[in-house]
Amino acid sequence: MSDASDTLVKFESVQKSYDGETLVVKDFNLDVARGEFVTMLGPSGSGKTTCLMMLAGFEPATHGEIYLDGVPINNVPPHKRGIGMVFQNYALFPHMTVAENLAFPLQVRNMGKSEISEKVNGALDMVRLGGFGDRRPAQLSGGQQQRVAVARALVFRPQLVLMDEPLGALDKNLREEMQYEIKHIHEDLQVTMVYVTHDQSEALTMSNRIAVFDDGIVQQLAPPDELYEKPLNAFVAGFIGENNRLFGEVKAIDGDFCQVELEGGGGMVKALSVNVDGVGSRTTLSLRPERATIGAAQGESTNSLEAKVEELIYLGDHIRSRVSLSGNDEFIVKVPNSHGHVHLKEGEITQIGWEAEDCRALDA
């Protein structure tokens, strides 16, 4: 967020309730810069789709204001907002051909025939579906339908495009292919995109920034790398990527670091104090599996704990080792399958070590 004039979308303390008793969205604030790709990521029922629907105009905000290009749009009906949208099941009109689907937004804007056909062909070429204009949506594969839906949302050159879990119905390979395709379209057209998904790899692949939703609140809004490496709370740490959790009590805080006594008799460890309430409070320690070293010699890293190897899963590039450490038998360490790596046996007792900077003390 550099400059206020660069802000295209602004949510200002938006709340949403369907039944007047519970809030689905509690105090949502978000600024989306022009040209940015922002993803709203969260488990189902976290309020992310509701926020998108409020932005599109299909759901009224119960409280708060949404601005598009500086203009409050709470009372602007959806068809006057000029926002392109890609729906979960594409919502291609089944009684129209692909070309008619693409022409629809242009026709309702009263464009001339030649201009329409020019733009439709351009949009089809953009998604590499030139020559498919006469087909019906039902005659296309899932990936092709998806591309038509993207083209239709872009053909009238909206300044903002919303996508509501658009890749949910595709199989894994196609989904990855489409992620790159959407990312490239975003880069080529410099269009602002707000994307909703529950799939973190999708979010990490495409976004400039990700808003992690849970329980109607944005838990953290940050670029993908920051989200993964510097989660601000236990939910984000657990939701993004794989994460080892250890519970304990804060014994001392020393600048950026704190001393935590682990539950389960693991002893004292040193961790980065990110989100703790103070000395004596409970905390969740978060440690990425790839940041722990196995078989580390005593004193080699800041923290070193004894662990028992429970299970070894050979995954080619790395060996996924489940160990039990300080009463947590779901502790995962990734051992890279590199030259001369440690060879473990199940049932073996070994040392697990990690640096204090990699271990984040978060809320309980």
Q: Pick the closer one to other proteins by CB: 111 or 312.
A: 111
Least separation in angstroms between residue 104's CB and other proteins is 6
Encoding tokens for residue 239? Answer: 């939701």
Shortest Å, Cβ 53 to other proteins? 9
What are the φ and ψ backbone dihedral angles of 355, each rounded to 5 degrees? Answer: -85, 150
Partners of 247 in the β-ladder: 284
Residues 6+ apart with CB under 8 A from 217: 26, 27, 28, 47
In whole angstroms, the minimum distance from the beta carbon of 286 to other proteins comes to 38
Least gap, CB of 99 to other proteins (angstroms):
14
Residues ≥6 apart with Cβ < 8 Å to 83: 55, 56, 57, 68, 158, 160, 161, 162
Query: Would you say 148 or 285 has its CB closer to other proteins?
Result: 148
- The closest alpha carbon to 25, from 6, 1, 47, 45, belongs to 47
Whole-number Å distance between alpha carbons of 233 and 275: 7
Other CB atoms within 10 A of residue 71 CB: 9
Q: Least distance (Å) from other proteins to the CB of residue 78?
A: 4
Closer residue to other proteins (CB): 126 or 309:
126
Q: How far is the CB of 197 from other proteins (least distance, A)?
A: 17
Greatest alpha-carbon span in the chain = 76
**Residue 165 CB, nearest distance to other proteins (Å)?**
12
Alpha helices in the chain (DSSP H): 48-56, 98-107, 113-126, 142-154, 172-189, 200-206, 224-229, 234-239
Output the smallest distance, CB 234 to other proteins, in A: 35
Q: How far is the CB of 111 from other proteins (least distance, A)?
A: 11
Residue closer to other proteins by CB (options 40, 212) is 40
Q: Report, in Å, the least distance between residue 149 CB and other proteins.
A: 8
CB 225 within 8 A of CB 37: no
Q: Report residue 151 CA to chain centroid gap.
A: 23
Residue (156 or 257) nearer to other proteins, CB? 156
- DSSP bridge pairs for 246: 285
Binding site residues, other proteins, CB under 8 A = 56-58, 77-85, 87-89, 91-95, 104-105, 108-109, 152-153, 156, 162
| C-alpha 150 chain-centroid distance | 20
CB closer to other proteins out of 91 and 174: 91
Residue with Cβ nearer other proteins (108 or 313)? 108
Closer CB to other proteins, 100 or 290, in the complex: 100
Closest CA to 103 of 149, 161, 146, 155: 155
Distance CA 219, CA 197 (A): 15
Q: Cβ atoms within 10 A of the Cβ of 171, count?
A: 10
Cβ nearer to other proteins, comparing 29 with 139? 139
Q: What is the DSSP secondary-structure string of 1-51?
A: ---GGGEEEEEEEEEE-SSSSS-SEEEEEEEEETT-EEEEE--TTSSHHHH
**Beta carbon nearer to other proteins, 67 or 87:** 87
